[in-house]
Amino acid sequence: LAKTTQPISMDSYEGQEVNITCSHNNIATNDYITWYQQFPSQGPRFIIQGYKTKVTNEVASLFIPADRKSSTLSLPRVSLSDTAVYYCLVGRYSGGGADGLTFGKGTHLIIQP
């Protein structure tokens, strides 16, 4: 099952586009890629999910290259309220394993005025 690697922290300014990349070299054929957002003292919230190429919703875009060994969450024109921790999850599980539920420490995104 895939493990993910994300930057520990990033910062940017209001109005900028922010891209957070997640590496998942061992992604399996059936694995989907899911991103969550978490504000302090709140539970994570689903942002976007994809399998390949590009997915876009009202909040973000998710870019996945052909080899699927990485993915990039893109947040357009960020605001101060986008300051949060972002988690990349990959995979599903079968049997007793649960690697696909490993949130880890995520990427701390700080947006400055």
Binding site for other proteins (CB under 8 A): 31-32, 34, 36, 38, 41-46, 49, 51, 87, 89-94, 96-98, 100-106
Residue 101 Cβ vs other proteins, minimum distance, rounded to whole Å: 4
Q: Which two tokens stand for residue 51?
A: 């399998």
Q: Is 59 within 8 Å of 46 (Cβ atoms)?
A: no
Residue 14 Cβ vs other proteins, minimum distance, rounded to whole Å: 27
CA–CA dist 83, 40 (Å, integer): 10
Q: Among positive and negative, which fits the CA dihedral 15, 17, 61, 8?
A: negative
Nearer to other proteins, 64 or 100 (CB): 100
Residue 69 Cβ vs other proteins, minimum distance, rounded to whole Å: 17
Residue 108 Cβ vs other proteins, minimum distance, rounded to whole Å: 11
Phi, psi of 80 (to 5 degrees): -55, -30
CA–CA dist 65, 33 (Å, integer): 12
Nearer to other proteins, 96 or 113 (CB): 96
Nearer to other proteins, 21 or 99 (CB): 99
Nearer to other proteins, 16 or 53 (CB): 53
Q: Which two tokens stand for residue 70?
A: 């990485």
